[in-house]
Amino acid sequence: MIYLDHAATTPLRPEVLEGMLPYLRQGYGNPSAMYAAGREAKRAVTAAREIIAQSLSLHPDEIYFTSGGTESDNWALVGAFELAKAEGRGTRIVASAVEHHAVLETLRYLEEVRGASVCLLPVDGDGVVHPRVLSEALREDCCLVSIMTANNEVGSLQPIAALADIAHRRNVLFHTDAVQAYGHMPMGDIAASVDLLSGSGHKLGGPKGTGFLVIRRGVPMRAFFHGGAQEKRRRAGTENVAGIVGLGIAAAVAQRDLEAETEREARLRDQLYHQLQEAIPHVMLNGSRDQRLANNLNLCFPGVSAETLLILLDQRGIAAGAGAACASGALEPSHVLRAMGRSVEEARSSVRLTVGPDNTEEEMKDAAEQIAEVVRHLRKGVTDRISAEKEAT
């Protein structure tokens, strides 16, 4: 299989599996216990926390482990809103129209059930929020701004530092969903500019069911899970030690290889794009041409059903995606592409191709040939049908 859906999830790195195995077998102690096995588990959790903190140039006590990006987003939004509402600091939340559903559906809940006022900002044709648009949307009753670092569908990068600065000038907290970005680009400057930041393990070769939320020192935040004293009494529940160890190792490997790997993935992405451009007429790039994740290529093939294209590619051993993995199977066109100004037909003709550490130049060549062949076949079918309809009339 040629795997081109790394934005959805990534294969577990061999180093990660090897590092997790001891904590799945003999190192199963409870980190809250005082005996030797518990102390060893706690040391492992502490070491992973330090790795995540170092990768973001933050202090370890600003890192809180979660079950993944969705929980981290929920905690950031619900926790910040509930505290602000209780303290009378406003109930308005501002986010972009292209956020992941983990953010959008949480906002829907807060609006419909908890009484929040939600404002979704428009984006330009690349899927980017202009700082002026955010500035105009902020009001005195705003308690939180949430804008993702990198879009999970089209890979476009947001000007997080500039946006966060605008929010902070109005004394508004700023959260960024960095699930798609963390481990794939330098994050120190971004982490330093925000109050809350969400990350996930399975996007960078770590295990599913692991993630973290950054809560900067001094930022008010309510506990999300209640019970024990884990995570400084903010997130109760016995820690997933093996998963946290795997997340830490994946983060360390991603940091170690970051520069070389992003350059390599960008070359593979560009190779695939140029080969498809040469082989297929009227291919359109979705998202920013320059300010995008190195591994992301989102393309529109006008006249082709993305769903059919993906099924036929799967039959040929090529795995790709149509956008957000969580929305797979949905009949609605991508909310991201629609917000960017793409038509319904263009959105339904778009696929996401994302490369990773195991992909090769030979795979890009093979994938480009296979995709081009399938697209030509599907377009021929459309052309033949239109011609037959014209003849019939």
Confidence of residue 383 (pLDDT cuts 50, 70, 90): low
Residues belonging to the chain: 393
> If you average pLDDT over residues 179-190, what whole number do you get?
98
How far is residue 67's CA from residue 202's CA, in Å, rounded to a whole number?
Answer: 11
26-78 residue pLDDT tens: 888 999 999 999 999 999 999 999 999 999 999 999 999 999 999 999 999 99
Q: How many CB atoms lie within 10 A of CB 271?
A: 16
How many angstroms separate the CA atoms of 83 and 93, rounded? 13
Task: Return the half-sphere exposure (C-beta side, CA atoms, 13 A cut-off) of residue 260.
Answer: 6
DSSP three-state, residue 366 = helix
Amino acid code (one letter) for 357: P
Residue 277 has pLDDT above 50, yes or no: yes
Instruction: Assess contact for 126 and 291: CB atoms under 8 A.
Output: yes
Measure the N-to-C terminal CA separation of the chain; round to a whole number of Å. 45
For residue 141, name the pLDDT band (cuts at 50, 70, 90).
very high
Give CA–CA dist 386/236, Å, rounded.
60
pLDDT of res. 382: 67
What average pLDDT score do residues 269-298 get?
97
What confidence score (pLDDT) does residue 347 get? 96
Look at residue 364 and give its three-state secondary structure. helix
Give this prediction's pTM.
Answer: 0.94
pLDDT interval class at 332 (50, 70, 90): confident
DSSP character string of 222-273: --SB-SS-HHHHTB-S---HHHHHHHHHHHHHHHHHHHHHHHHHHHHHHHHH
Alpha carbon distance 72, 64 (integer Å): 9
Residues belonging to the active site: 326
Instruction: Reply yes or no on whether the pLDDT at 386 is more than 50.
Output: no
Mean pLDDT of 86-98: 96
Q: Residue 24 has what pLDDT?
A: 94
The DSSP output letter for 323 is S
Tokens of 363: 């795979």
Please report which confidence band the pLDDT of residue 387 belongs to, taking 50, 70 and 90 as the band edges.
Answer: low
Structure token pair of residue 300:
């529109």
385 exposed, middle or buried (CB, 10 Å; 0-12, 13-18, 19+)? exposed
Question: Cβ distance 41 to 357 under 8 Å?
Answer: no
DSSP 61-113: GGEEEESSHHHHHHHHHHHHHHHHHHTTS--EEEEETT--HHHHHHHHHHHHT
* Tens digit of each residue's pLDDT (9 = 90 or more) over 300-330: 999 999 999 999 999 999 999 986 444 445 5
**Average pLDDT of the chain, as a whole number:** 95
For residues 276 and 281, give the distance between their C-alpha atoms in angstroms, rounded to a whole number.
Answer: 9
pLDDT category of residue 176 using cuts at 50, 70 and 90: very high
Residue range 182-194: mean pLDDT, rounded:
98
**pLDDT of res. 45:** 97
Please name every residue paired with 117 in a beta bridge, in sequence order, or none if there are none.
92
The percentage of the chain sitting over the pLDDT mark of 90, rounded to a whole number, equals 92
Single out the residue of 302, 281, 282, 301 nearest to residue 353, CA to CA. Answer: 301
- As a whole number of angstroms, the distance between CA 184 and CA 63 comes to 19
Q: Which residues pair with 318 in a beta bridge?
A: 2
Q: Is residue 385 very low, low, confident or very high in pLDDT (cuts 50, 70, 90)? A: low
Residue 22 CA to chain centroid, in angstroms? 29
* Predicted pLDDT of residue 371: 98
Q: For residue 146, what are the contacts with CB-CB under 8 A and spacing of at least 6?
A: 73, 76, 77, 93, 94, 95, 99, 103, 107, 174, 175, 176, 177
